[in-house]
Chains A and B, each alone.
Chain A
Amino acid sequence: MTDPIRKPGRKNPQIRTVQPTLPPAFRSRKALGFTVAAAEGRFCLQRCDDCGKLTYPAREACPACLSMNLHWQDVDPAGQLIAETTIRTSTNSYFRERMPWRSGTVMLDAGVSVLAHIHGDVAPQGRVRMIARTDKSGKGVMMALPEEDVENMADDKQLRELTCDPKHRRVLITDGRTEVGQALAKAMSGAGAGIVFVGLAEQWRGFAGQAALEAIANVEIVPLDVTNTTSVQECAGEIGGKVDILINTAQHTRPGGIMGRRDVVTSRDEMEVNYFGLMRLMQGFGPGMRARGADGVNSACAWVNLLSVYALSNKPDFGSTSASQAAALSLAQCFRAEMAGSGVKVVNAYHGPLEDEWHQPLPPPKVSPNRLAREVRGALQQGLEDIAIGEVALDVRMRWKEDAGVLEKELTQIEGM
């Protein structure tokens, strides 16, 4: 059983913050396919389309039949630990700072043996289930967990390096005025967050759910208006040094495309929140989080973007909002590049239409605020970077991966023609 981690004490401002170091970041182009799957939490190996052989590490050709047709495919994550070591010296600074480190050889039931990180609760020669996650360098790695859950297993030192568990961490939810913001505040508090900062613009304006929000344990309301640069900078100045997880819930969604609008006023509002608001947050909070990626138990660890899945491909009846979401997605990609090296994950959570007033006429299925909050919490606890929430988002993302061109044709064709 893992010893539970203790709530960290107050930080000594006279001691230098530990600078983030990274595990090895370079991967071959083929191996990046494993990283893509790991970001979604999928455990994949390459399978040969022609002879069916599973193979690992990432190859260009099948070692059984020399076919070039290898594809990453989900495989049974069950296996057995057949050899292990506890590494006590390392040439890499990241590992050196975290010694000792347990790694081992796992024979997968699927018939391939692999090197992996080993959870502290795995018994010698024990049965395991594998997970794939991105590590602090943002690259996919494997870890063997005990076959069954054990108490406090999320607190394992090596596993916690792969996850963004809110436990003992301080979270900022950028807009608490919406049901989504309130559901997330509740979910983060429930997940053991030390403090849940909740941003509110124009605090004097009351809103539905205000009393319930203020009653959630560990919630602290902070003034924050993402459309106002000064407001974002002041908020970052106040609490930026202790935000470990930032979840951007500020969204401006309106129906309509291009010619149904006479001017750009509404579109500008969408961009002001969805794009410029995000950029202000990144400029205000990004540098502080980037510097605190290795700051102990409550290090900065995750930045969560809630994105409409139509950021991937435009949905014309919400065409202008889709465009602002696409801009936000592109900005998030740039942000990932700028945060690389810090160990802070940039999590993109794609969702379909929400159960809210702006999607009220749309048919189901829609995503309830509670479901969205639950899945974001799960993604943080598991350490995922790319998640799709709800049936619509899962469906659109799958079709986008299959063929982005075909998806565009499907989404933009005139109904009934």
Chain B
Amino acid sequence: MADWDIKRQGYDGVVAAVPISIPYQRFTPDPAHWWLARALGDLVRGAGLRPSDIDGFTVSSFTLFPDTAVGLTQHLGLTPRWLDHIPMGGASGVVALRRAARAVQAGDASIVACVAGDASHVDSFRTMLSSFSRFAQDASYPYGSGGPNASFALLTDHYMRKYGATRADFGKIAVAQRANARRYPSALMQRELSLQQYLDARPISDPIHLFDCVMPCAGAEAFLVMRADIAADLGLKTVNILSTIERHNAYPNDPIQDRGGWAMDKDELWDMAGIVPEQVDFLQTYDDYPVISMMQFEDLGFCAKGEGPAFVRERDLEITGSFPHNTSGGQLSVGQAGAAGGFLGLVEALRQLTGTADGTQVKDASYGVVSGFGMINYDRGVCSGAAVLAANVTGDTG
């Protein structure tokens, strides 16, 4: 009988490069196409390429309708031989990275542009919520139409009761991210935030209060995945991919979500990477709400299940702290530009590991972990993913 448990291959000869962030805006009349085009243009120029050199393309966007990645190729004049549309919200970045890496490794493409972006019109958030998924239309939106705030309020309420987390624990995460954001000029929220201000904020959907929530906005993020030898020819600063995981609809029988798919796959993540959590210099979690970041600390193996609150209390999460976390401020302070929110942590990680993070740079960052979480299809986030990345310190191109 065949061996069903085949060992996974590494990502030899493939690198990620050219982190691009297009500064976010709260509202703009520009459509998703504008933001995606803008990011792709910066990507091509930043790499010193011509558009025709891009032979692989992934697109993530909630507001591109009626187009998909297909329409965008003609719109933007690309002629790729490999194309993927990745509608996985907060998991889109990690998933784009690992799909593109395999395509490059197998020779199906040489240079893949991974792009995510969304529009933000005055009424686009309501429109998106009301038609987000079939389960949401049938069974969650009719119950108060609180959107993700209400869904995550339930997860937070449950998590707080079960594991003894307090609002101050979540506040510590949000406050540290705001401090980080004040060193990232593109963050929409730059005003200093104290723990007291966090605690005193108005309730949105109890126990979620104002500073637990991200601000929907427009923006785009992008990066390249390419052959290491081509990157070397172009003289690009690159990042190595040590390992990745992806999982969908994990633990479907849990009555309410208090763990994500990472918990299923974390051993494989660290085994394949060949490092241990203590070696990691920074972590970029998907932070649509602080409770989800805390869950990622646990489920990625930085601490045991239920120890998230204590883990946070014992650490300094700022850029200069003992555990740098969401170094650009995360979505909580930068803003949530739709699917670009699923790229934000990854793009910031690429800046960190190429030494180009400027004000948010973690000193001597060698290893970084990025994790993604996406799509409240009904009552919980369905998609999860993570990647362990390493700076290309030796100049070795993979």
**Residues of A near any B CB (own CB < 8 A):** 23-24, 26-28, 30-31, 56-58, 63, 82-92, 94-95, 101, 103-105, 107, 113-117, 125, 135, 137, 139, 141
Nearest CB in chain A to that of B377: its residue: A57
> Assuming A90-B144, A113-B256, is B155 touching A27 (CB within 8 A)?
no
Cα of A115 to Cα of B151 in the assembled complex, Å: 9
From A87, A107, A113, B144 is in contact (CB under 8 Å) with A87
> Assuming A85-B154, A89-B205, A107-B255, is B138 touching A58 (CB within 8 A)?
yes
Is A103's CB under 8 angstroms from B143's CB?
yes
The 4 closest A-B pairs by CB, nearest first: A92-B145, A85-B153, A57-B139, A87-B146
Nearest CB in chain B to that of A92: its residue: B145
Is B205's CB under 8 angstroms from A113's CB?
no
Cα of A115 to Cα of B378 in the assembled complex, Å: 9
> Assuming A84-B157, A103-B150, is B143 touching A116 (CB within 8 A)?
yes
Cα of A122 to Cα of B378 in the assembled complex, Å: 23
Give the residues from 302 to 350 in chain B that come closer than 8 angstroms, CB to CB, to chain A.
none
Is A115's CB under 8 angstroms from B143's CB?
yes
From A91, A94, A115, A125, B379 is in contact (CB under 8 Å) with A115
Is B252's CB under 8 angstroms from A88's CB?
no
B202 to chain A, nearest CB (A): 8
**Interfacial chain B residues near A139, Cβ < 8 Å:** 142
Is B138's CB under 8 angstroms from A27's CB?
yes
Is A88's CB under 8 angstroms from B205's CB?
yes
Nearest CB in chain A to that of B137: its residue: A26
**Interfacial chain A residues near B252, Cβ < 8 Å:** 63
**Residues of B near any A CB (own CB < 8 A):** 125-126, 129-130, 134-135, 137-147, 149-150, 153-155, 157-158, 161, 202-208, 252, 255-256, 378-379
Nearest CB in chain B to that of A30: its residue: B138
Cα of A329 to Cα of B124 in the assembled complex, Å: 41
Is A91's CB under 8 angstroms from B203's CB?
no
**Interfacial chain A residues near B143, Cβ < 8 Å:** 103, 115-117, 141
Given A89-B205, A114-B139, A115-B154, 16 more pairs with CB closer than 8 A = A23-B145, A24-B141, A28-B134, A57-B378, A82-B255, A82-B256, A83-B157, A83-B256, A85-B205, A87-B150, A91-B126, A91-B130, A92-B126, A103-B146, A113-B256, A115-B143
**Interfacial chain B residues near A87, Cβ < 8 Å:** 144-146, 149-150, 153, 205
**Interfacial chain A residues near B206, Cβ < 8 Å:** 85-86, 88
> Assuming A24-B141, A56-B139, is B146 touching A89 (CB within 8 A)?
yes
Is A28's CB under 8 angstroms from B138's CB?
yes
> Assuming A82-B255, A89-B149, A105-B256, is B139 touching A115 (CB within 8 A)?
yes
From A86, A91, A94, A105, B158 is in contact (CB under 8 Å) with A105
Cα of A334 to Cα of B101 in the assembled complex, Å: 58
- Which of B138, B146, B202 has the largest count of A CB atoms less than 10 A from its CB? B138
**Interfacial chain A residues near B138, Cβ < 8 Å:** 27-28, 30-31, 57-58
Cα of A295 to Cα of B203 in the assembled complex, Å: 28
Cα of A87 to Cα of B154 in the assembled complex, Å: 10
> Assuming A26-B137, A31-B139, A85-B206, is B154 touching A91 (CB within 8 A)?
no
Cα of A27 to Cα of B142 in the assembled complex, Å: 10
Question: Can you show 5 pairs from A to B with CB atoms below 8 A apart?
Answer: A57-B134, A57-B138, A83-B161, A88-B206, A103-B154
B155 to chain A, nearest CB (A): 7
Nearest CB in chain A to that of B255: its residue: A113
Nearest CB in chain A to that of B154: its residue: A83
**Interfacial chain A residues near B379, Cβ < 8 Å:** 105, 113, 115
Cα of A336 to Cα of B253 in the assembled complex, Å: 39
Nearest CB in chain B to that of A89: its residue: B204
**Interfacial chain B residues near A82, Cβ < 8 Å:** 158, 255-256
Is B139's CB under 8 angstroms from A104's CB?
no
A308 to chain B, nearest CB (A): 34
A370 to chain B, nearest CB (A): 37
Cα of A246 to Cα of B30 in the assembled complex, Å: 51
From B129, B142, B145, B146, A85 is in contact (CB under 8 Å) with B146
> Assuming A87-B150, A88-B204, is B256 touching A101 (CB within 8 A)?
no
Is B125's CB under 8 angstroms from A24's CB?
no
From A31, A90, A116, B145 is in contact (CB under 8 Å) with A90
A34 to chain B, nearest CB (A): 8
> Assuming A105-B158, A113-B379, is B205 touching A86 (CB within 8 A)?
yes
**Interfacial chain A residues near B142, Cβ < 8 Å:** 23-24, 135, 137, 139, 141
Is B137's CB under 8 angstroms from A91's CB?
no
Nearest CB in chain A to that of B206: its residue: A86
Is A105's CB under 8 angstroms from B129's CB?
no
Is B135's CB under 8 angstroms from A57's CB?
yes
**Interfacial chain A residues near B134, Cβ < 8 Å:** 28, 57
Cα of A82 to Cα of B202 in the assembled complex, Å: 24
A110 to chain B, nearest CB (A): 12
Is A28's CB under 8 angstroms from B255's CB?
no
Cα of A117 to Cα of B140 in the assembled complex, Å: 10
Nearest CB in chain A to that of B143: its residue: A103
Cα of A293 to Cα of B144 in the assembled complex, Å: 19
**Interfacial chain B residues near A86, Cβ < 8 Å:** 203, 205-206
Is B255's CB under 8 angstroms from A103's CB?
no
Cα of A88 to Cα of B135 in the assembled complex, Å: 22
From A27, A58, A105, B255 is in contact (CB under 8 Å) with A105
Nearest CB in chain A to that of B131: its residue: A26
**Interfacial chain B residues near A114, Cβ < 8 Å:** 139
Nearest CB in chain A to that of B252: its residue: A63
Is A91's CB under 8 angstroms from B144's CB?
no
Nearest CB in chain A to that of B138: its residue: A31
A53 to chain B, nearest CB (A): 10
From B144, B208, B256, A103 is in contact (CB under 8 Å) with B144
Cα of A92 to Cα of B52 in the assembled complex, Å: 45
Cα of A197 to Cα of B132 in the assembled complex, Å: 46
From A24, A57, A89, B130 is in contact (CB under 8 Å) with A24
Cα of A83 to Cα of B155 in the assembled complex, Å: 7
Is A91's CB under 8 angstroms from B157's CB?
no
**Interfacial chain A residues near B140, Cβ < 8 Å:** 115
Cα of A30 to Cα of B155 in the assembled complex, Å: 27
